[in-house]
Amino acid sequence: MRKPNVLFLCTGNSARSQMGEALLRAYAGEHFDVYSAGLEPKSDILPVVRQVMGEIGLNMEGQHPKSVNEYLGKVTFAYTITVCGGAEEKCPLVFLSMGKHMFWPFEDPATIQGAPEEVLQKVRAIRDEMAKKIQFWLREQGIEPANLVEPETKDPL
């Protein structure tokens, strides 16, 4: 039986959509094939995003920003989840009209200002908020999310 495809979509594919992809794959990868993309992909995933995902045991090695155009006409998505207002407004209609479309807006880690520890705390909060949203959605589907490691929030020595 073929697994449904899920696309997490944002503007740059350097933070939120990458986090969503990694989280859903970790929680329920046996139930879904998970993708992420951006309308205007950046050159790399934000280092702070890689850091906070690593804290919960999710190594994002191999993940990189991708253009939504890579999937046009090639992949049919059962679910398209836009995680930012920019992607929601500019998303190609083909993605919004296939399967189910959901809009889950989260703050953009790329725009967070402040001291490094403040930025880190805010990105952790976004990660945790996304994790809760995905877990809730999975339970609505009758799927119990797999357990992840507890976040390690201490600074390395």
The CATH number covering residue 34 comes to 3.40.50.2300
Q: List pLDDT tens digits, range 83-127.
A: 987 666 766 665 666 789 899 999 999 999 999 999 999 999 999
- Mean pLDDT across the stretch 42-52? 96
Task: List the catalytic residue out of 9, 26, 37, 84.
Answer: 84
Q: Is position 82 annotated as part of the catalytic site?
A: no
For residue 14, pLDDT over 80 is answered with yes
Note whether 10 and 104 are within 8 A (CB): no
Please give the Cα distance from 51 to 45 (Å, whole number).
Answer: 10
User: Is 10 annotated in the active site?
Assistant: yes
Report the distance separating Cα 150 and Cα 107, nearest Å.
23
Tokens at 123, concatenated: 């990105």
- The answer to whether residue 116 is domain-embedded is yes
**Sign (positive or negative) of CA dihedral 8, 43, 105, 29:** positive
User: Which one of the listed residues 9, 10, 68, 120 is annotated catalytic?
Assistant: 10
Query: Which of the two residues, 47 and 156, has the higher pLDDT score?
Result: 47
Q: Look up the pTM and report it.
A: 0.90
Is a pLDDT exceeding 80 seen at residue 9?
yes
Report the mean per-residue pLDDT for the chain.
Answer: 89
Catalytic residue among 45, 49, 83, 91: 91
Measure the CA–CA gap between 37 and 17, rounded to whole angstroms.
7
The contacts of residue 116 (CB under 8 Å, 6+ apart) are: none
Task: Give the per-residue pLDDT at 97.
Answer: 65
Has residue 11 been placed in a domain? yes
Residue 146 lies in a domain: no
pLDDT at 125: 97
In-domain check, residue 10: yes
Active site residue 91: yes
Query: What's the domain range around 122?
Result: 5-140
